[in-house]
Structure 1
Amino acid sequence: MKYDASIIISTYNQPDWLYKVLLGYAQQTHQNFEIIVADDGSKMDTYQIVQNFKKQTSYAIKHIWQEDEGFQKNRILNKAIRASKSPYLIFTDGDCIPRKDFVEKHLTLRKPKAFLSGGYFKLPKMISEKISKEDISNQYCFDKFWLIKQGLKKNFKLNKLTSRGLKENLLNQWTPTKATWDGMNASGWKKDILAVNGFDERMKYGGEDRELGERLMNLGIKPIQARYSLICVHLHHERGYKNTVDFDRNKQIRKETKSKKKTWTDYGINQS
């Protein structure tokens, strides 16, 4: 079967969150896509979540798994890219529930020689845990009034959930946030990603996804700001894998990518 998009979802030992995310994809207005769960060494309960979801839906779902050797997200993403069957790839995380128009918007806004930079709306732990299957199917978790009723404080970021049409386009243009490749919500053409050799597998947590976007830009692939168009809610979680050593090393790799205008990494999909 020919798919319009491959949805690559990275995950690590968050089966309850992954289940909610998969439920979000079951609500999509555009349904011609495959799902690839890029699993960086989770335990068996994540595998069971994927298998159970396969039985509940007609979507094509692949579970790509690797041994747990610490934070190796870029490595599993490269494996998922190789396994993908679509010319257009949408990347997200297993703790980001997509709004029902998520896939449709990615496909509508895509352009040749460009990648899309989306955003997210972060939820506190209490609301993240409270979201049910019904809240996702009814799209309550994207409704500002429902969220406020659950205890969410009002702030400007709620515009991400309420903007449509002209307001949405204006906020995309006016936001001071630069368009970057952020792994929780970004998309691009597979041929462009292969042209820069995918993700750099030397990199741990901390800007490891943005470095791919920087090589794409060096190649002439334009980033498009769409953080008010491509909507997902980010469920709360701790980041126990975050550390200064890895972050500083990543900064050095990114600095070299920028200063030398590198378009290729020798540590990506093709390491021959």
Structure 2
Amino acid sequence: MKQTSAYSIGVIISTYNNPAWLEKVLWGYLFQTHPADEIVIADDGSKEDTRRLIESFKDKLPIKHVWHEDNGFQKSRILNSAILASESDYLIFTDQDCIPRKDFIATHAAYAEKGYFLSGGYFKLPMDISKQLTYNDIKSENAFSLSWLKEQHMKCNFKCTKLIKNKTFTRFMNAITPTKATWNGCNASGWREDIFTVNGFNEEMHYGGQDREFGERMFNLGIKSKQIRYSAIVLHLDHKRPYKTKESIEKNINIRRNTRKTGITETPFGIKQLH
């Protein structure tokens, strides 16, 4: 049964040159019990094969493709461009390597509340299973089934509890987890008006914590967070991170330290200044 809400919900998906993973992610949005009102692809300079893939979904999903030229890791900048292109009241942020379970959007919609942002969770898959996942595995939800994953020789540990789909259990786990409810780029959501109030993402920041800094400015604004890491689940496909550098991490740590120390809510390098 398809669900709707009193406000519009958009999904912003960041991507860069990985159409094979992005296709699996978009399959997940075909089967949502609560369909997105819009899906904005924030493309950090991908090549033609990504554009062709996105075009092939435009008759199936309400997709907008926001692209800029490849000039290194500029995820913050393309996310801000995608925010500007969005029209929905409420925005869910995720990545090209995160396949949503059928209840993903519905769960964000159920927990959404004025004065809060939501912090969702992910379950990492090994590379072999990431590669083998098919359209039918996602449609049938086998990909989210612990028994099926074990049949594919996945080793299980405590983190497998994220895939247990039981409301009483997930609420309990959300309540007791020691993990803080931070803004996680792969699975988080908030009100569009709040996102504009903090001026979007800090475009000075490259890889490493730019999502957390965004959330810290939300906290400075007085926005609280809700923990839904056991309720709103995505499967995280495996990949390498060649864009991760020591210099980027150190720079971002200093920016985050300043954000917490000064209590600023609005980045000076966000939507208003650079778009």
TM-score surpassing 0.5? yes
Asked if the contact 1:14/1:46 (under 8 Å) is kept, the reply is yes
SS in 2 for 1:70: coil
Determine the C-alpha separation between the residues in 2 that align with 1:34 and 1:141.
25
TM-score, normalising length: structure 1: 0.97
Distance in 1 separating the partners of 2:150 and 2:122: 17
Runs of 4+ in structure 1 off by over 6 angstroms are none
TM-superposed CA distance for 1:76, in Å, is 0.3
> Which of residues 57, 60, 70 in structure 2 aligns to 1:53?
57
Which residue matches 1:34?
Answer: 38
Structure 2 residue runs of 5 or longer lacking an equivalent are: 1-5
Matched residue, 2:48 = 44
Q: Does 1:7 align with 2:11?
A: yes
Question: For the residues of structure 2 that align with 1:29 and 1:18, how far apart are their CA atoms?
Answer: 20
Q: Partner amino acid for 1:213?
A: G
Partner of 2:74: 72
Report the counterpart of residue 255 of structure 2 in structure 1. Answer: 253
One-letter identity of the residue aligned with 1:22 = L
Contact 1:144 1:161 (C-alpha < 8 Å) held by counterparts: yes
* Letter matched to residue 62 of structure 2: A
* Matched residue type, 1:42: S
- Out of 142, 145, 153, the residue aligned to residue 144 of structure 2 is 142
- Within a 5 Å distance, the mapping from 1:68-147 to structure 2 comes to 68-147=70-149
Q: Report the TM-score when normalising by structure 2.
A: 0.96
**Corresponding position of 1:183:** 185
Structure 1: gaps spanning 5 or more residues: none
Q: Distance in 2 between matches of 1:77 and 1:255?
A: 22
Shift in Å at residue 12 of structure 1?
A: 0.4
Q: Any idea what SS the aligned residue of 2:58 has?
A: helix
CA distances 1:215-234 after superposition (whole Å, capped 9, x unpaired) = 00000000111100111000
In 2, Cα distance between equivalents of 1:147 and 1:262: 44
SS of residue matched to 1:211: helix
The aligned counterpart of 1:208 is 210
Amino acid at match of 1:218: N
Number of residue pairs matched by the alignment: 269
Give the one of 255, 263, 266 matched to 1:264.
266
Paired residues for 1:225-236 under 5 Å: 225-236=227-238
The separation in 1 between residues aligned to 2:20 and 2:14, in whole angstroms, is 14
Instruction: Name the aligned partner's letter for residue 24 of structure 2.
Output: K
Report the AA paired with residue 141 of structure 2: Q
Shift of 1:97: 0.2
- Give the whole-Å Cα distance in 2 for the aligned partners of 1:232 and 1:39: 20
Instruction: Report Cα offsets for 1:162-216 as digits up to 9, x if no partner.
Output: 1421111110010010010010000000000100000000000000111000000
- Residue 76 of structure 2 aligns with an amino acid whose one-letter code is N
What is the Cα deviation at residue 3 of structure 1?
A: 6.6
Question: Corresponding residue for 2:224?
Answer: 222
- Which residue of structure 2 lines up, in the alignment, with residue 16 of structure 1? 20
Letter in 1 for 2:208: G
Structure 1 position 152 matched with structure 2 position 154: yes
Structure 1 residues 191 and 267, CA gap change in structure 2 (3 angstroms): same
User: Displacement of 1:42 after TM fit?
Assistant: 0.5
Where 1:178 maps in the other structure, the secondary structure is coil
- 8 Å Cα contact 1:3-1:85 kept in structure 2: no
